[in-house]
Structure 1
């Protein structure tokens, strides 16, 4: 059965790969981007199967209008994908408050804006699936990407609460956590700064690695899109889905280290309870 999708950030990267996969599979799509002219090829190939929409996810009114376009055009909204986002590289000390706010507005509040626009529709339908693109940087603090990680950790917490609130209404939530994929995320979409000399052994290493890594990432965007399509067909999709062997290996190692650290400090942690015998 054909679904109605809305994808933010459809013009490039994983969002573009997913948009292509959705349309090839016969679904209907509202493809959004800040510059919808970058989506013209989709309209030429897929005609009435797709609608293009100019969307700045930081604008709540625009988010409402995008969801309304999906419902007015196709009659419902089955799958929302919050994919739009970016993350620059720099040291916290050298990242301005304005840059922190800009990344958090797009990467966190953009997700909140579009999600809130879609919730009433899916609640009334008693069905739907919200796909939130987080990152490995939403599970592990990404060195040199503090604003991005701060936002993505926010997406993770927001989406966990969302799943608990709307799950009983028949609406599913999945947090997708990609590792490195061969998109322009680490290239044209990212500003990379080495930082001042004092950060050469930390942020500088990341900056140099990122420049050399672009185009060599292990992840295939087409396969990522197929994986996302697959989970939308499941009656019980995962709350979280890691994408890529690098993501799986890094998060597994990090989570084990967290458990071991919690156990190490367990006695001190529980010592803060009131004395039951007092």
Structure 2
């Protein structure tokens, strides 16, 4: 039986690849973008299985309208994928507060807003799957990306709580954590500011690596999309799924360092308890 998906940010990148893969699998799709004209060509040759809607994920009315559009077009909403997002590079000192707000508004609040729009329908049906796009930067501090990491760490915490609640009503929640994929995320859609010399060892290094990395990332967006379809088909999917070999390596190293630090400072940590 065909599933109905709502994917945010389908105009390009991972969202576009996932949209193509969903349609190729024979499922229904409500494809969204801030500018629906950017969805031209999506679903050609697949009539009746795709609908589109304008969507700014930070707009609560548009979020509700998109969910209703999917239900009206296909009868239900089975899978919500919160993919829309972006991340600029710059130091904490040199990133304007307004930029922090914009990135957190899109990456975190956009995810919260879309999730809240879809949950009542899924709760009533006692079925559904919510897939949240986080990032390697949601598991470790991504150099030069303080605003992005702040938002994605928020997505991780929000989604971990959400998963515990949704389990009670039969709705699944998964967090995907991509590493580097060959989309335009590292290209024109990213503002890069190498910053002042004091931070060159971290921020400047990240900026140079980003420029060199674009076009040579190890991740294939269509193979990543295929992995997400497998995830959604699972009876008992994982809460977290890193995507890409670089993501697996980076997260494993970070988690091990965190465990090592926890053990190193265990005596000081537990010294704060009341004396037995």
Q: Deviations over 1:127-149 (max 9, x none)?
A: 00000000000000001000000
Residues of 2 paired with 1:196 and 1:51: CA distance?
47
Residues of 2 paired with 1:235 and 1:210: CA distance?
37
Which residue in the other structure is 1:256 paired with? 256
Instruction: Tell me the SS of whatever aligns to 2:185.
Output: coil
Which residue in the other structure is 1:96 paired with? 96
Which residue in the other structure is 1:126 paired with? 126
5+ residue gaps, structure 2, are none
5+ residue gaps, structure 1, are none
Is 2:244 aligned against 1:244? yes
Which residue in the other structure is 1:179 paired with? 179
Contact 1:43/1:52 (8 A) holds in 2: no
Q: Deviations over 1:120-174 (max 9, x none)?
A: 0000010000000000000000010000000000000000000000112100000
Which residue in the other structure is 1:12 paired with? 12
Instruction: Tell me the SS of whatever aligns to 1:173.
Output: strand
- 5 Å-filtered alignment, 1:182-201, equals 182-201=182-201
Q: Deviations over 1:65-121 (max 9, x none)?
A: 100101111110000000000000000100000000000000000000000000000
Which residue in the other structure is 1:40 paired with? 40
Instruction: Tell me the SS of whatever aligns to 2:41.
Output: helix
Q: RMSD between aligned alpha carbons? A: 0.7
Residues of 1 paired with 2:134 and 2:271: CA distance?
35
Residues of 2 paired with 1:168 and 1:201: CA distance?
47
Instruction: Tell me the SS of whatever aligns to 1:29.
Output: strand
Contact 2:6/2:32 (8 A) holds in 1: yes
Which residue in the other structure is 2:268 paired with? 268
Residues of 2 paired with 1:45 and 1:14: CA distance?
21
**Cα offset, 1:47, TM superposition:** 2.2
**Cα offset, 1:188, TM superposition:** 1.4
Contact 2:19/2:29 (8 A) holds in 1: yes
Contact 2:22/2:28 (8 A) holds in 1: yes
Residues of 2 paired with 1:196 and 1:45: CA distance?
51
Which residue in the other structure is 1:83 paired with? 83
**Cα offset, 1:45, TM superposition:** 3.1
Which residue in the other structure is 1:169 paired with? 169
**Cα offset, 1:44, TM superposition:** 3.5
**Cα offset, 1:48, TM superposition:** 1.8
Q: Deviations over 1:177-224 (max 9, x none)?
A: 000000000001101111012222210111011001000000011100
Is 2:155 aligned against 1:152? no
| TM-score (structure 1 length as normaliser) | 0.98
Contact 1:43/1:51 (8 A) holds in 2: no
**Cα offset, 1:51, TM superposition:** 0.6
**Cα offset, 1:43, TM superposition:** 4.4
Which residue in the other structure is 1:53 paired with? 53
Residues of 2 paired with 1:141 and 1:199: CA distance?
15
